[in-house]
Structure 1
Amino acid sequence: KKRGLSGVEFVASDDHAGLKKAIGEVLPEAAWQRCYVHFLRNALDYLPRKADDDCLQELRWMYDRRDLQEAQRDLAAWIIKWQGKYPKLVDWVEGNIAETLTFYRLPRAHHKHLKSTNML
């Protein structure tokens, strides 16, 4: 910013508390997106090690929806489907997934590249 950076509208990062705080202080005008790849990796902490079903794959598919309303509708179905089997995961997802859906504010052409910190 001291060298002239301006007009930042969107920042994607992991969930590092210090980084989130710095982004909020230095770029308060920017919307923040928690990287969905990091989010899905963090979700593994709430699953048994031997979980081998489609739970996380179905959660990952939320990020391929056309818009926020479609993602929220499918998330509600995912929650109902998996609440009984993985209640800790579902509770954690419900409390944290909103941070990963900020990219839906952007034009659809940008979704693929800006929902994650991995530009590949």
Structure 2
Amino acid sequence: MYARGMSQRDISSTIDDIYGFMLSAEQISHITDSVLDELHEWQNRPLKAFYPFVFVDCIYVSMRGDKGVSDQAVYVILGYDLKGKKDVLGLWMGDTESKHHWMQVFDEIKARGVQDIGFISMDGVSGLEDGAKSIFKNVVVQRCIVHLIRNSLKYVPSKDYKAFTAQLKKIYGAVSLRAAQSEFEKFCETWSKYPGAIRVWKDNFRHVEQLYQYGSDVRRVMYTTNAIESVNASFRKVTKQGAFQSETAVFKVLYLRIKELYKKWKGHSIQNWAIVMNQLCIDERVGQMIRKYSAL
């Protein structure tokens, strides 16, 4: 029940309805604390040597401190392995705006066994790209297209959202780089009345151009964030119950949720994974990684 987002009060009420006795919040917390050793083991478990794709995103949770309640970011790192299987590599809180912090995060991932990462899709958080590249020299960092869309929509009236995003899709969904560049020129001309939105895309258009170094199915994996969005949506169901007292309390409830996700993912791989792998093999950089780690 706790893993499915029920508050301690709701759990106590449900148990009373079914079994006829009440549990205090302290008793429920003590019961769920039994997972802490398992959580610690999960946080430090060995990882695969190579992940073709890694996605970094965050959710915000309410934390209660000396100065009251504030929202803090919990960063989630999701990886796809060579078989197209999904895994949550870990959860992190802290000073997420510094290169030093992200160096520590990726150094921890490396210490747990990861030797190479093909691509990292991220939301543009300061310091992440430099921190990742300082540990994994050959990684390609890709700005998340969905986050760029959200950032640009801040400068667009809601009445134009549909038309604006439809024209954006013609850019990152184009059949070739030349077609994408042509669509981008049309886009800039059509929406020039919203210079803030245009600036978001001009500043980051290299991340769109970068996509076209790879096949269409690889591009789709890189710009489609359904998997990480689904993970975060699942997390939000269990973090909306109120303010947390500590990082441990946050990680405990998220880990219990991750266990539920693992059950859903078991036996499933990413759609069209064989095609994705074939397109990756064509690229010299990633192809070498695939051959190296497939042989292990």
Normalising by structure 1, we get a TM-score of: 0.81
The 5-angstrom pairing of residues 29-44 of structure 1 reads 29-44=138-153
- Name 1:103's counterpart in structure 2: 211
Distance verdict in 2 for CA 1:32–1:52, change over 3 Å: closer
- Which stretch of structure 1 is more off in the superposition, 40-49 or 30-39? 40-49
Of 41, 47, 57, the residue aligned with 2:156 is 47
Q: Quote how far apart the aligned CAs of 1:38 are.
A: 0.9
Amino acid at match of 1:70: A
8 Å Cα contact 1:100/1:115 also seen in 2? no
* Residues 1:61 and 2:170 aligned together: yes
- Name 2:79's counterpart in structure 1: none
Ranges in structure 2 where 5+ consecutive residues have no aligned partner: 1-109, 231-296
Amino acid at match of 2:197: L
- Name 1:14's counterpart in structure 2: 123
Amino acid at match of 2:223: K
State the superposition RMSD in angstroms. Answer: 2.2
Distance verdict in 2 for CA 1:27–1:118, change over 3 Å: farther
* Residues 1:86 and 2:194 aligned together: yes
Aligned equivalents of 1:53, 1:7: Cα separation in 2:
39
8 Å Cα contact 1:34/1:116 also seen in 2? no
Amino acid at match of 1:110: V
- Structure 1 runs, 4 residues or longer, greater than 6 Å off: none
Q: Quote how far apart the aligned CAs of 1:52 are.
A: 4.9
Larger Rg: 2
Q: Deviations 1:20-39 (Å, cap 9, x if unpaired)?
A: 23212222211111010111
More strand by proportion, 1 or 2? 2
**Sequence identity (%):** 26
- Greater relative contact order: 1 or 2 (C-alpha under 8 angstroms, separation 6 or more)? 1
Distance verdict in 2 for CA 1:93–1:61, change over 3 Å: same
SS of residue in 1 equivalent to 2:221: helix
- Name 1:73's counterpart in structure 2: 182
The aligned length equals 119
